[in-house]
Amino acid sequence: MKLVKTAVVFPGQGAQRPGMGQDFCENNVSARKIFEIASEALGEDMKELCFTEHPKLNLTEYTQPAILTTEIAMLAALKDQYGFEAQYFAGHSLGEYAALVAAGVIDFKDAVIIVKKRGQLMQAAVPEGVGAMAALLIDNIEQTRFKEITENAGAEIANFNSAGQVVISGKTEFVKKASGELQKEYPDMRIVDLPVSAPFHSSLMRVIEDEFKNFLGKFSFNAENSSNVLSNFKGDFHKPDQFIDNIVRQISGSVQWIQNMRVLKGVAEVIYEVGPNKVLSKFFSTIDVNVPAIINERSAKKTFEVET
């Protein structure tokens, strides 16, 4: 039987919601085990954090391990229930860590500890209120002067998400200035201030990169497996001797998601999104790729039971 070249992609911070992963956890032993491993590693009840209206869920240092735990638990359940396997892996920002776990590059227990530290450092890098992020939405955004106007205002491009969406980041006054200039030049552009506590993927995050790299030095990785995982920072597949530098620099670098999608489109015959909310499949639709989104057991059954 011919092997279908399959890719799986994972959304990042912002995809969280109360109740995420609960149905998989309640009905699948492997998913439940993932939550237990994370709880033990972090000294935190991850089921309570993810399944209830928990005040910590939107605090970066908890959001990051919560989303990672949910995504890997969902993947474990899909493997058990449907024999799901993938050859290519990618994730958006934080989601890149789920991709690295799924590919066997980082042990899951290590990964939840790593992303909690990543969240703590990112939150501490800039005092709250000093930085901001905003999403720019307009068709064919690459045909506008968004990059020039943003950079002239002192802000930076954080995420190249799709043909119709880019996210900018930086000091609050620079993001506001860029937003105003862009709105003036492009009245049809929708600009949405994002509810974030820090200017992620901007040069303001660079101050934490050395500490994060030193922290990574405490762990062992199967770097050779990273060649099947896309790098947000580079836009293409990781090279094993560069993957640590890539994930360190991803913190302050732009997320090259448009390039990631184009690469996957070229190598995979089918792509699935696995995560708490449908995020990345919308971006893929802008390059005419249909990506089924698995966000709960119901969507998993709809996707895989129909296919089989």
Q: Which helix (H) or strand (E) holds 88?
A: strand 88-91
Decide if 281 contacts 11 (C-beta within 8 A): no
Identify the residue whose tokens are 């199967």: 222
Helix axis angle, 95-102 to 108-125, nearest 10°: 160
Catalytic: 202?
no
CB atoms within 10 A of CB 270: 15
Read off the tokens for 281: 């499949």
Taking the C-alpha atoms of residue 166 and residue 284, their distance in angstroms, rounded to an integer, is 14
Catalytic: 92?
no
Q: Give one word for 168, left, alpha or beta, with left for phi > 0 and alpha for psi -120 to 50.
A: beta
Buried b (16+ CB within 10 A) or exposed e, 223-247: bebbebbbbbbbbebbeeeebbbbb
Catalytic residue among 179, 201, 231, 281, which?
Answer: 201
Q: List the catalytic residues.
A: 93, 201
